[in-house]
Chain A
Amino acid sequence: MRNVTLAVNGKTVRCSAGTSLLDVCTAQGIDIPTLCHHPQLKPFGACRLCIVEDAKSGRIFASCVTPVAQDMEIQTHSERVVRHRRNIIRLIMAEHPESCLVCSKGNHCDLRKIAAQLGVGQTGLYPMHNYQGIEQANPFIIRDLTKCILCGKCIRADHELVAAGAIDYNHRGFDARPSTLFEQPLEKSECTFCGTCVSLCPTGALTMKNVRYVGAPQKEHESVCGFCAAGCAVSLGVTDGQVVEVTPSPRTDTVNGVTLCVRGHFAHDFLKSEHRLTSPMVKKDGEWTEISWTEALEILSQKLLSVKKEHGPRTIGFMGSSKCTNEENYLFQKIARSLLETNNIDNGGHLFGLPLAAQLDKRLGGRFRARPLKGLEQAEAIFVIGANPGNSVPVAGYHIKRAAQNGTPLIVADPLPTDLNRFAGLRLAVAPGRDLDMVNAISALLLEKKAYDASYTAENTTGFSFFRTGLSSISFERASKTTGLKLDRLEQAAEMIAGKKIAFVIGQGVLQQPKGQETLDAVVNLALITGSLENGASGIYILHRENNQLGALDMGCAPDGLPGRSSLSDEKARKTWASAWGSKMSPDPGLSLVQMIREADKGNLKALYIMGENPARSLPDPGFVKAALEKVDFLAVQDILMTETAQLADMILPGAVFAEKAGSFTNMEGRVQSFDPALPLPGAARPDWEILAMLAQKLGMDARYSEVRDIQKEIARLIPSYGEQYLASPVSWVKDAIQEDQPMAFTTPVCWDGEKPPAGFDFTAITGSVRLHLGSGTRTAQSSRIIAWDGRASIEMSPTDAASLGIEEGDAVRVVSQTGSMIGTAKLVFGFPEGLLRTPAGVAGHSLAGLLDISRTPGAVYSGCKSFPVNVEKSNET
């Protein structure tokens, strides 16, 4: 790009043409006040504070929106400019209310800061108050638009960053205000309460509700959000050892930028839950008794060792956590494998398709592990299959929506309407569980039209001809019938992606269905023929559910997977690890999460150590699970809350939340982010890694870990995909581990005839993530704000179905499956397909899990919990 030379306050500066004057001045260390400018929003030029003067032409420019020009002689603080900057602030202050004095924005208020800098106290103007009502009916955001200075950041964030479309300008001139459609309260608008507007608001016009502390937090602490797999960088505002607010990190190289979602902003209340576990306890005669750590570790180690000795290593189970840190999961599985010689180790990600993700990594030969979400905005087309990122991984949803807004073709395949629909160029309302036929049909159409990347497939893949032959026999008529999609819709989809490098976004709708593995394979096939994998701006994006699902997998917290995603069945890998740890390594395939429960039920599991998981709530068929857990001789639960599972335990070990400990998480992109403790530990609670380190020592492990860094050093040394960069920087990326002997191969396309629904069930329920809760809702339910907003499960259904059943909006309804039933509130959704229901996952007190059958799939991997046959009826219960 062309370079431009200009003078800034007398100093000659060179910069590339197109740079804004503001950026140039800022780079020179010159402080120019702004109220409406934000680097992540498009330049706007509303507040006019950033005005500078070109001494040469005498012209005045708003520096944020003016590109540099050759030979400008910019004066940033000339007498006239400073005087008028003060005038603007005087005017704003003349409009501002007296409640400024007691505003909770305090020293975070940009207006206050700039007024102080410019020395504006008394305005010397006539006050022109512009009183607006305060809106605070919703549990999250207080809107006091009297304090609004019309910088437009909230509106631009709503449009440009999160693409919610909830607010825009209303009225004109002095009466102009940001407003929802028809000035409805936020809760009746499209607002998702992501809180991005609150983070950006320079004044107290938008603030978080239920702030226990008025004013700016005592300190800000960089951390990583503990909910979904997006791994947003957050800043924890800490006062008196409590997190008083959560805001996006000021860092710019993050996955989320200045956005967060409703969970990230508001659901971190669990950090200061009053129900936290604060002491190790054992159950004596059905009563909990507090004990010391020494006693606890003594009992725990003795129990584990005695069970190993008595019943053998295969009777001991370890459930690690997709929410705990990499270091903790590493140490946890190391204890299991090296000290207790069992491979019965898994984590909660099992329920959310983690085994499939592991398979995918194998199929791609360890390639493309880092998949930054920002690539979505550079992809040539986006194909979302079975994913509702607006609810599950909202930040991924923002990326997709932004891309679509900027013209990237978007196809959304989902049986149910999602909030991506209004951005989609094509919506494929595929029949539940039939994505496999849809993807195969699209691949076949591309092959038929020769609209595939022939040179890429020839050079980089194997098995293409088999694949082509397999697909050539596909019956489009059948595919159209099974998927419920007219052939022209499929053709339209093929047309939209033909010749393009596609970003595939895969959600639980694929991962949790009976043919999840086959469907994912079909997606990989489609990605291979279109050559979509190579480019960093396309490829396959798996929307993992929990924050450290991928990390738990990387750390070997899986029955068949050793750390670094090497396979237990790989003898070489086994040997490597055994020698690294100086221990034996059992080749016996371990039990998966559901298998452990099944074995417990059979009485074959004698000891179970659960760290940070709540299977009694999250697993299907809780009655069965609880009964099975009761049968375990010794159940130790390490957690932060007295969960349903903890209540069944023989021993409880109080762990720590992420904000109280050091460690790292690996997000769905493959981004490894380290963090330090921000909060003191409650009572006698200990960081989970510390508990594990103490236990390891007790069990006789040679290695000593006195700080997290010690574990990290071992990981860096032994897991090449983490390696040195993981030690060197708080943010690093999982490296590929390409096995050259494993080229990417096509899989033979398979067909599936589907399951015949049992008689007597007229509806198909589809489980869907909800925006406010995560997983089974154990943590989000600790937030009074979240519960106040969404304490009840909404059963979404078609108004037509509802009418035929005499159900009205807001009625209590009972959903009955073969296994159990749940109560929810009917929500009639216009355009919702008939015969389907959406049942929400994770709403406290409304156990969706009760509807599901844990014995549904007998294999090692639990699947098929995405959709299932049900009936629905009006209920008198509440």
Chain B
Amino acid sequence: MVDRLKNRDELITLRKNLVAQHKDGNKKLISLCSGSGCGAYGTASVYDSLVAELKKAGLSDQVEVRLTGCHGFCEKGPIMVIHPEGIFYPQVKPDMIPDIVEMTLKNGEIVEKFLFKDPVSKKKIIHEKDIPFYKLQKRVIFGRNQMIDPTNVLHYIAEDGYKGLEKALFEMEPQQIIQEIKGAGLRGRGGGGFPTGIKWASCAKHDGDRYVICNADEGDPGAYMDRSLLEGNPHSIIEGMLIAAVAMQSHNGFVYVRHEYPLAVKNLNIALKSAREIGLLGKNILGSGFDFDIKVSRGGGSFVCGESTALMASLEGKPGRPRAKYVHTVEKGFRESPSSLNNVETYANVPHIINNGAEWYASMGTEGSKGTKIFSLVGNVVNTGLVEVPMGTNLRTIIYDIGGGIPKKKKFKAVQSGGPSGGCIPEQFLDVPVDFDELVKIGSMMGSGGMIVMDQDTCMVDVARYFLDFLKEESCGQCNPCREGIKQMLDVLTRICAGHGKEGDIELLEELGAMVQKFSLCGLGTSSPNPVLTTLMYFRHEYEAHIKDKKCPAGVCKPLFHYEIVDGTCTGCGLCARKCPQDAITGAKKETHVLDQDKCIKCGICYDACKFNAIAIR
């Protein structure tokens, strides 16, 4: 381990040496993703066999294997990238390792059969940079993940790490830092999109023991960019918080992170420890006389604790409940002191802005939303994963060009952005540029960047019901509109989905939705009706079908549809009959089969099995 850095020069020298070592061209570097996704697919066993094979082949000294954080292309994990060439092997299994070692590492050949096959062009692609999923992204924040072992501070330093801190500490006045962030137009990545520079400036304006707090209570279902950043590149967050601390002259920081993110907590703690040991955190940082330290506080998994005042209440050891914000947290937040709370991704942006300048940063993005944004692209999309694109990229690019479109040739129906309380965006808005303001205009929001793609087989009433059920569980229960309004709306939706919907239910949902939206105490409450209101806005006919015709057009709400075998389309292949667990389908070979409705349990196996689209939802 490196000795404690006493001044800036020692850090610069260290970085120079590290970069020089790294440029040693003969050595290969295998970046093996060990983020939570790839980890679940089996990175550990891949790593073990890779190390063993390398040893057997006598390559241990010439090849460095680096377990890195998330690369983003989670659909294809575990991911292996061999540098310096950038050879990309997806879905690596231990039994593939001998071939890779033998052919690629020893002989410099490509293992054709292991290469990534682009689902659109059907072509095999060798290099990571050529894969459309990566090619169309602009990975400013996320890019360094794959070069860094998050448990090794030196890797981060080698990647220009803590350069921004240096600059903030030794070249800039606190006011200048804030000015730079303001100039860059950075807006909070946690969902609200509040201008970060303005937040810092008002926090710095208030006297008291200021706190710099990082919100890592990422709770949107399907969203995991903050986790991947914390797991994969914790030092970038620490550096961002350090710069914020210098800007606001704060000496105490907290990271409030979900208890359900054990790897993030582990890597963050390791990073904090090594940052302290190396003199980048704690007392007299780099000999500047500036003190700042960070504590990690683990949340208990309450969604509402992502709300600033609830988070601070939880941090104080109180129940995580929001309060009315007529006094802002930048004035009286944690322990009644001025507190600046920013999201993980926001902090990750900060070092880049300080390093490259506001102008560079502001050159990316749209008029009102600058820089890049990481989206977590999930649902009915071919390439699920984390996608970083400049603000203003349209939905079509994200879903079709980067995400590879909808699987199984199904039709796109909607994309839900902004987490559970975001809105469902229909096809007509696919060309809308994605930024803070545009999404609000079409009834949704940026949120923390969740993007759930839904295909034709999704029932929008059921989707609204699902999200409301989540929000009902996660409402803190403090204010009546949210606590009871969501519950009532959920009851109405549940009845509609069960076929008990009646005239007036839609109007009731709209009335209650408007009330909850306007009257709730915190952001969770005011945004909670969004899934209902946007689906009502764009998919009202589905509600009406449920209520008036007692039909679920997507075939999701079981009481509201049945399967039928279409005469003329059925070839009588018998596949459905063989697969039916209820023996509900009968028919002679090559003749149209018959489905016994009394026996059918609507499991949908026949529907999925039929190759001729002969099973219809009615």
Residues of A within 8 A of B (CB): 43-49, 51, 60, 62, 65-67, 80, 84, 87-88, 91-92, 94-95, 125-126, 128, 149-150, 152, 168-169, 171-176
Contact = CB atoms under 8 A, between A and B. Distances in A.
Contacts of B472: 173-174
B219 to A, nearest CB: 13
Contact of B491 (A62, A84, A126): A126
Nearest to A171: B477
B321 interface: yes
Nearest to A155: B319
Given A51-B519, A84-B518, A176 B477 contact: yes
Contact of A173 (B323, B326, B473, B519): B473
Interface of B: 302, 304, 319, 321, 323-324, 326, 472-481, 483-488, 491-492, 495, 508, 511-512, 514-515, 518-521
B484 A128 contact: yes
A174 B515 contact: no
20 contacts: A45-B324, A45-B521, A47-B480, A48-B519, A51-B518, A62-B324, A80-B518, A84-B514, A87-B511, A91-B512, A95-B484, A128-B491, A149-B480, A169-B321, A169-B478, A172-B474, A172-B477, A173-B483, A174-B486, A176-B476
Contacts of A91: 480-481, 484-485, 488, 512
Contacts of A95: 484, 487
Contacts of B479: 45-48
A48 B473 contact: no
Contacts of A171: 477
Contacts of B483: 150, 173-174, 176
Contacts of A80: 518
B324 A176 contact: no
B488 A94 contact: yes
A67 B325 CA distance: 11
Contacts of B302: 172
Given A171-B477, A172-B476, 8 more contacts: A45-B521, A51-B519, A62-B521, A66-B324, A125-B488, A125-B508, A150-B477, A173-B476
A126 B488 contact: yes
Nearest to A67: B326
Contact of A84 (B321, B475, B519): B519
- 6 residue pairs, one from A and one from B, having the closest CB atoms: A176-B477, A65-B324, A173-B475, A91-B484, A45-B324, A84-B515
Contacts of A92: 480, 484
A125 B511 CA distance: 12
Contacts of A169: 319, 321, 477-478
Most chain A beta-carbon contacts within 10 A, residue among B474, B483, B521: B483
Nearest to A168: B319
A126 B480 contact: no
A595 to B, nearest CB: 57
A150 B478 contact: yes
B505 to A, nearest CB: 10
A41 to B, nearest CB: 13
Given A91-B484, A128-B491, A172-B302, A60 B518 contact: yes
A152 B476 CA distance: 13
Contacts of A152: 478
B421 to A, nearest CB: 14
Contacts of A173: 472-477, 483, 486-487
A666 B495 CA distance: 64
Contacts of A62: 324, 521
A182 to B, nearest CB: 15
A76 to B, nearest CB: 15
A65 B323 CA distance: 10
Contacts of B492: 126
Nearest to B477: A176
A22 to B, nearest CB: 12
Contacts of A175: 477
A173 B475 CA distance: 4
Most chain B beta-carbon contacts within 10 A, residue among A95, A126, A172: A172
Contact of A88 (B324, B515, B521): B515
B222 to A, nearest CB: 21
Contact of A46 (B326, B473, B475, B480): B480
A46 B522 CA distance: 10
Contacts of B321: 169
Given A87-B515, A88-B515, A173-B473, A48 B484 contact: no
A176 B474 CA distance: 11
A60 B484 contact: no
Contact of A128 (B319, B478, B488, B520): B488
B480 A174 contact: no
B512 A87 contact: yes
B518 A128 contact: no
B518 to A, nearest CB: 5
Contacts of A172: 302, 304, 473-477
A407 to B, nearest CB: 10
Contacts of A67: 326
A673 to B, nearest CB: 37
Nearest to B479: A46
B324 A174 contact: no
A172 B477 CA distance: 5
Given A62-B324, A172-B474, A48 B480 contact: yes
A120 to B, nearest CB: 13
Contact of A174 (B323, B484, B511, B512): B484
A51 B480 CA distance: 12
Contacts of B319: 168-169
Most chain A beta-carbon contacts within 10 A, residue among B477, B481, B511, B520: B477
Contact of B521 (A48, A87, A126, A128): A48
B214 to A, nearest CB: 24
Contacts of B514: 84
Nearest to B500: A126
A338 B484 CA distance: 71
Contacts of A66: 324, 326
B244 to A, nearest CB: 28
A66 B485 CA distance: 23
Contacts of B486: 173-174
B491 A88 contact: no
Contacts of B474: 172-173
B522 to A, nearest CB: 10
B79 to A, nearest CB: 38
A477 B322 CA distance: 53
Nearest to B302: A172
A66 B477 CA distance: 21
Contacts of B491: 126, 128
Given A92-B484, A126-B491, A174-B483, A46 B519 contact: no
Contacts of A174: 472, 475, 477, 483-484, 486-487
Contacts of A125: 488, 508
Given A150-B477, A173-B474, A48 B520 contact: yes
Contacts of A126: 488, 491-492, 495
Contacts of B488: 91, 94, 125-126, 128
B477 A128 contact: no
A46 B480 CA distance: 7
B480 A150 contact: yes
A60 B484 CA distance: 19
B429 to A, nearest CB: 26
Contacts of A128: 484, 487-488, 491
Contacts of B304: 172
A46 B487 contact: no
Nearest to B482: A173
A149 B478 CA distance: 10
A175 B483 CA distance: 9
